[in-house]
A and B are shown apart, each in its own frame.
Chain A
Amino acid sequence: MLKKIQIALLLALLILVCCGEPPATNGGKPAKVYRHAMDGAPGSLDPAQAASLYANFIVVTLDDTLYRYKYLARPYQLQPNLAAAMPEISADGLQVTIRIREDVYFMDDPAFANGKGREVKAQDFVYSIMRHFDPETRAQGAWLWQNRIEGLDRWKEQGSDYDSEVTGLRALDDHSVQITLTKPFPQLIHTLTQGYAAIVPREAVEAYGQMLSNHPVGSGPFRLASRDSARAVLTRNPDFRQQPFDLADEGYDPASQANLGLQVLQDRSPPFVDRLEFEFITEDAARWNAFTAGEVHFIKVPVSQFDNVLSQRNPVTLSPGFDGMYHFEASPESGFVYTNFNMDDERLGIHPDPEQNIRNRALRCAMVKAFDWDKRNEIFFYDIGRVFPGAIIPSVPEFDPAGDASYIQRDLKGARELLQANGWDEETLPTLEYGFPNSVTERQIFEQFRNFMMDAGYPSAKIRPMIFATYGDYQRAYSQGKVTLINSSWTMDYPDAENLMQLYYGPNSAPGSNSANYKNPEYDRLYDISAAMAESPERTENYRKMNQMLIDDCVSINGISRTLLFLWDRNAIMKPDRSFLGGYFLRFVDLAEPANTTP
């Protein structure tokens, strides 16, 4: 009897769990379903909270920004999206006027009167940016525009009342926006490509509040059908505007891109597929299996598979088993990995006593010399990461190929001599805390670091791990100066080296992104001058000077830019991209033939 009940219960449960989704169709034809594997899950899908790459990918597909990057052009070039054209900028660089397209409508949603999506207007853009300055929003993008737009910070101080105007952020009429800057800000248009700047209707924010995250309303080519911690399903927005695709306009390069099959997109208006499915698979092996089994169309190849996938590292070449089976791209990340010293820590950072200060610098420089970039690259990046001195990564034009390469060469003898000459020995060396959020790989990276230092005579007991259960707790600890050796990575927000140089700008010290707490008046002065400049030889020279200061002061063990490997199904017509939060390519994805038959 008991058994029967159990079986009945089990069956009932199965029925509960097994409610499958009906196959989507597109006017009788089988639906085109593109499946995308991501190595993490997004948090909130409210554009104001789209801090992660994962959230940004989905947000820029559901919503629209005024500008984006050209789909195919490299290096990156700006392209109007909801804007009708590139902005008009006044001679002093302080006034920016942007025209907005007139044929754009939000997707239908109960939040609107009659449930019918209304036109997107200049006021919506103004509102969406203002939201970042409203504490109610819990927005994360305010830093992009803080102290830069006339009156915006004051608007916040006065209580974030949407009915009162901001002088520097105004809708001139329904289709033009005027932004008045407090100082020249050449990166402004770049900031308008980010998910943070995506346009949401006030009706939806007021209707859903915090729930907007799960009920996004935008004007993008797709709408959210469902999502949980394992996947998100987006379906085509049937009312998406006509915006025919133009290869030349997107920076198509026939020489390098002809094999991608992108020609079929010419003159058609996106979206090209019926469904976008995102699979959030954090475990490398599982993600890889899903890809090789054909369950997803795209993968960023996990490092643990590099051995398997590549036959050669320089140039990067696919193994015979993969060559020809998939589309393939190897591209450097627009970011880097580094280990900062906490310069506020008197045991190895800046010290009021000038002599101790010199000894501390020697200690830092000795640790830099003891660090073995070749081994780090070999073990954790399969030898295809690009090591460079300082903070200017190889993929920006400011990079100096003739930079100080000795900074990234291991010199154990030099390290030992430097320590000895400055009176550092097993007794006097300080006990340092090396922080990391808990994970197997982070721990291995720490143990490798400790080994490098041990080779130079640093006692192993004097480099202690400081482990945090969450990334946020780790951030809090180093923002409060509790960590001495800070291992982190930086992903650029926009393709402008200013975004790298600000990492060591004094006023950005903790809790800001200058986790090294580096405060060099000369560096800061050059930064202030250069940040307001557009790319130019003069600015490049300044940035290189600043980079040399970082090297001379041994502020950080930096750095390495990882190489990302993308593989995608031959049926998927696309050029994937992960830089600057990325995700825009997803609106142009097409499939060569109706979706495959995997579940």
Chain B
Amino acid sequence: MTGTTWQRLKSDPLGVGGLCVVVLFALVALCVWSGLLGQGWSEVSGERWENASSDHWFGTNLLGQDILQRTLFGTATAFEVGLIVTACSTILGTLMGALAGWYSHSWLDELVLWLKGVLDSIPFYLFAAAVAFALQGNPWAMHLAMIVTFWTTTARIIRGEVMRIKEREFIEAARAIGLPGLVTVFRHVLPNTFHILLVQGSIVFVAAINTEVILSFLGLGIQDGVSWGLMLAESSQEVLAGHFGNFAAAGGSLFLLLMGFNLLADALQDALDTRRAIR
């Protein structure tokens, strides 16, 4: 990210707001990981369905567990899923996209396009369910399902960019020096797509968090631990009896984090001027 980009981002108040929200949640996640927050998420510390109080800011759930603790722990879960899925699918998508773009219209390109076509043609939730079945009980089943489906968009974008960049002069020059194809891709082409990856990564992050919630709700997500999706699933059984603690805490946090990310992604797109490539 260059200095001008940072200047542009800073002058966008919505973007800065989004960044602050994301950083705040990231700090919470860090505190959970380092054992400072949310460690009592599974402990029963009160009676069932206690109202909000100074002991339990969001009240307690059916078992008497503190909803605040669970919300904090859920933040870490969201970030864990988001980071892993974003990192893996970006790396996978970049590799596939770069290969396909560099060797465009070869059998390799066709193969990647075919794979992408196949994965895009299966309804996502069914695919996730299928992966969850195939890896029965494996805690990484959900992550894998998302990585396997999310890389295709990144790959498509990178492929297009690589095909565009490889016609440029400095690549021609590299070729003339006799650098082999793949080295050229990694040394010269990919750094030029970094800004696109950054924006696309933030979009994938949002999608991953959103998807985790729905998969966990459908019972295909988190195995051990707690997530906002699991809390919403619990709340769906409670709201009709008038207990809104889980719903407010998980739904609210989810909204704030997604909002922050969406604003940040927008601001990044404007600052980096990547709108065309992403779409």
The answer on direct contact between A and B (beta carbons under 8 Å) is: yes
Verify B42–A451 contact, CB threshold 8 A.
Answer: yes
What CA separation (Å) do A448 and B234 show in the bound complex? 14
Closest chain B residue, CB of each to CB of A437: B219
Interface string of A374-388 (1 = CB under 8 A from B): 000011000000000
Interface string of B208-226 (1 = CB under 8 A from A): 0000000000011001100
Pick the contact of A451 from B43, B132, B220, B224 — CB < 8 Å? Answer: B43
B137 within 8 A of A: yes
Pick the contact of A439 from B42, B48, B219, B224 — CB < 8 Å? Answer: B219
Verify B63–A448 contact, CB threshold 8 A.
Answer: yes
Pick the contact of B44 from A284, A438, A448, A467 — CB < 8 Å? Answer: A448
Pick the contact of A440 from B137, B234, B241 — CB < 8 Å? Answer: B234
Closest chain B residue, CB of each to CB of A450: B42
Verify A444–B63 contact, CB threshold 8 A.
Answer: yes
Residues of B within 8 A of A378 (CB): 48
Interface string of A403-446 (1 = CB under 8 A from B): 00000000000000000000000000000000000111101100
What CA separation (Å) do A57 and B242 show in the bound complex? 33
Residue among B62, B220, B230 with the highest chain A CB neighbour number at 10 A: B62
B203 within 8 A of A: no
Pick the contact of B133 from A305, A379, A443, A469 — CB < 8 Å? Answer: A469
What CA separation (Å) do A438 and B241 show in the bound complex? 22
**Complex interface residues of chain B between 23 and 81 (CB less than 8 A to chain A):** 42-44, 48, 62-65
Residues of B within 8 A of A465 (CB): 223-224
A185 within 8 A of B: no
Q: How far is the CB of B69 from chain A (nearest CB, A)?
A: 13
A213 within 8 A of B: no
A337 within 8 A of B: no
A86 within 8 A of B: no
Residues of B within 8 A of A451 (CB): 42-44, 63
Pick the contact of B224 from A441, A454, A464 — CB < 8 Å? Answer: A464
Chain B: number of interface residues, binned into ranges? 20 to 34
Count of A interface residues, CB-CB < 8 Å: 27
Residues of A within 8 A of B5 (CB): none
Pick the contact of B137 from A285, A441, A444, A466 — CB < 8 Å? Answer: A466
What CA separation (Å) do A473 and B133 show in the bound complex? 10
Closest chain A residue, CB of each to CB of B43: A451
What CA separation (Å) do A444 and B42 show in the bound complex? 10
Residues of B within 8 A of A304 (CB): 237, 240-241
A468 within 8 A of B: yes
Residues of A within 8 A of B224 (CB): 464-465
**Complex interface residues of chain B between 118 and 169 (CB less than 8 A to chain A):** 129, 132-133, 136-137
Q: How far is the CB of B45 from chain A (nearest CB, A)?
A: 10
Verify B234–A473 contact, CB threshold 8 A.
Answer: no
Pick the contact of B63 from A379, A439, A454, A464 — CB < 8 Å? Answer: A379
Residues of B within 8 A of A305 (CB): 241
Interface string of A505-534 (1 = CB under 8 A from B): 000000000000000000000000000000
Verify A447–B42 contact, CB threshold 8 A.
Answer: yes
Pick the contact of A469 from B129, B234, B236 — CB < 8 Å? Answer: B129
Known: A304-B241, A440-B233, A451-B63. A467 touches B42 (CB 8 A): no
Residues of A within 8 A of B62 (CB): 379, 444
Q: How far is the CB of A592 from chain B (nearest CB, A)?
A: 31
What CA separation (Å) do A447 and B42 show in the bound complex? 7
A491 within 8 A of B: no
Verify B240–A444 contact, CB threshold 8 A.
Answer: no
What CA separation (Å) do A460 and B233 show in the bound complex? 23
What CA separation (Å) do A182 and B140 show in the bound complex? 53
Closest chain A residue, CB of each to CB of B224: A465
Closest chain B residue, CB of each to CB of A439: B219
Q: How far is the CB of A212 from chain B (nearest CB, A)?
A: 30
Pick the contact of B132 from A379, A448, A469 — CB < 8 Å? Answer: A469
Verify B42–A379 contact, CB threshold 8 A.
Answer: no
What CA separation (Å) do A444 and B240 show in the bound complex? 18
Q: How far is the CB of A480 from chain B (nearest CB, A)?
A: 12
Closest chain A residue, CB of each to CB of B220: A469
Known: A450-B42, A460-B42, A464-B224. A469 touches B219 (CB 8 A): yes
Residues of A within 8 A of B44 (CB): 448, 451
Seen from chain B, the residues whose Cβ lies within 8 Å of a Cβ on chain A are 42-44, 48, 62-65, 129, 132-133, 136-137, 219-220, 223-224, 230, 233-234, 236-237, 240-241
Q: 8 interchain pairs (CB within 8 A)? A: A304-B237, A307-B241, A378-B48, A379-B64, A438-B219, A444-B63, A454-B43, A473-B136
By Cβ-Cβ distance, the 10 closest A-B pairs, closest first, are A438-B219, A285-B240, A451-B44, A440-B233, A465-B224, A448-B63, A440-B234, A440-B237, A466-B137, A304-B241
Other 9 A-B pairs with CB < 8 A, given A308-B241, A469-B132: A284-B237, A304-B237, A304-B241, A307-B241, A440-B233, A444-B62, A451-B42, A451-B44, A467-B219
